[in-house]
Amino acid sequence: MPVFTISGMILRSLFGRPATLMYPFEPREYATGSRGHIEIDAGTCIYCGLCRRKCPTAALAVDREAKVWEIDRLRCISCGCCVEVCPKKCLSMARGYSPAVPSAGEPEKHHA
């Protein structure tokens, strides 16, 4: 009768290398195209505000006169809508999620 049918898998994992990543000793390698966080090339931004309108969670704020672009990292869901809609292509999606913070704090500001 079939008993201990899992013993093959168990012995392989006992004597083989671990299936989990030994983080943080080994850094995590994200796949290309993985959606992590938004980055901006502030010099190219024209402060048109299209990204703010398209953002589904209202995580962005753009001030045309003061030339400030703000992002609230905790609201951003990394959907990439702002990256798609930016006319100057100054926004890009970078790998790696934004780190956890102990309190909400101020949104991140970028100046020209």
**Which residues form the interface with other proteins (CB under 8 A)?**
1-6, 8-10, 13, 19, 30-35, 52-53, 55-62, 70, 72, 75, 77-80, 84, 93, 104, 106-107
- Smaller CB separation from other proteins, 42 or 61: 61
Residue 8 Cβ vs other proteins, minimum distance, rounded to whole Å: 7
Residue 80 Cβ vs other proteins, minimum distance, rounded to whole Å: 7
- Smaller CB separation from other proteins, 7 or 44: 7
Q: Which H/E stretch holds residue 84?
A: helix 81-85
Burial 20-44 (b: 16+ CB within 10 A, else e): eeeeeeeeeeeeeeeeebbebeeee
- Smaller CB separation from other proteins, 65 or 106: 106
- Smaller CB separation from other proteins, 71 or 90: 71
Question: First-to-last CA distance in the chain?
Answer: 73
State CA 19 to chain mean position distance: 25
Residue 26 Cβ vs other proteins, minimum distance, rounded to whole Å: 15
Please, are residues 61 and 73 in contact by the beta-carbon 8 Å criterion?
A: no
